[in-house]
């Protein structure tokens, strides 16, 4: 008897019949472990991506006839104070669009701007020489008691008028501080004279100081 024949006979000695061998094979089911993996979370756009997208919308809707608010509507769920700040900083040369963006975000239920965004917008409107919009905006914020208008806001206005070579506008702004509940101090006067002199408006600064 050969070795291979003995091995074959030993293997089948466990089973009385051939069907019992196949029955055993059928009944033996491999134990596979199925691992379930959780569905990956669907993440929204990152903050830099949102800033880029909204800034592009503001750039493309810079005129009054553009329906900026409609184009901004899809971004409503993602609006946050940090996002608004970053967009305003990115769009410092888009005064009209930045102003509309600020008011649109303010209209979203449950959203409240912080003082930083308020200051940034005042600076934007001033640097873009959109003084009419700036004063209307300040009056609206004053009447609605939305934000605290303080001396620092007027420092930004002094700076903007001086840089625009409108020293008389800076002086008029100083004289209007009390209209917004801000009593001028020596520190405010110092800031006014500083910005006037920095832009070489020495004559106007001296005349106002002498008064």
Res 18: pLDDT:
46
Res 97: pLDDT:
98
pLDDT digits (tens, 9 = 90+) for 99-108: 999 999 999 9
What is the mean predicted confidence (pLDDT) over 64-71?
Answer: 94
Mean pLDDT lowest for which of 6-10, 98-102, 144-148? 6-10
Give CA–CA dist 117/42, Å, rounded: 30
pLDDT at 20 over 60: no
Res 21: pLDDT:
45
Give CA–CA dist 151/161, Å, rounded: 15
Res 1: pLDDT:
53
Which residue reads 């003084």 in tokens?
131
Whole-model pTM: value is: 0.78
More confident residue, 23 or 161: 161
What is residue 74's DSSP assignment?
G
Report percent pLDDT > 90 for the chain: 76
What is the mean predicted confidence (pLDDT) over 166-173?
Answer: 98
Give CA–CA dist 109/23, Å, rounded: 70
Res 44: pLDDT:
77
């Amino acid at each position: 008897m050969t070795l291979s024949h003995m091995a074959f006979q030993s293997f089948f000695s466990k089973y009385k019949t051939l069907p019992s061998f196949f029955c055993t094979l059928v009944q033996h089911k491999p134990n596979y472990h199925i691992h379930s993996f959780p569905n990956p979370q669907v993440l929204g756009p990152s903050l830099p991506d949102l800033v880029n997208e909204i800034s592009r919308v503001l750039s493309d809707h810079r005129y009054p006839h553009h329906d900026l608010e409609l184009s901004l509507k899809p971004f409503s769920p993602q609006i946050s104070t940090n996002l608004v700040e970053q967009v305003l900083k990115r769009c410092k040369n888009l005064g009209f669009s930045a102003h509309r963006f600020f008011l649109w975000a303010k209209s979203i239920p449950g959203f409240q701007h912080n003082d930083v965004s308020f200051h940034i917008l005042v600076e934007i409107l001033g640097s873009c020489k959109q003084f009419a919009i700036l004063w209307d905006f300040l009056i609206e914020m004053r009447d609605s008691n939305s934000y605290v208008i303080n001396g620092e806001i007027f420092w930004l206005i002094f700076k903007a008028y001086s840089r625009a070579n409108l020293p008389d506008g800076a002086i008029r702004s100083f004289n209007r501080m009390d209209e917004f509940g801000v009593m001028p101090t020596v520190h405010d006067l110092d800031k006014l004279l500083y910005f006037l002199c920095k832009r070489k408006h020495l004559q106007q600064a001296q005349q106002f100081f002498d008064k």
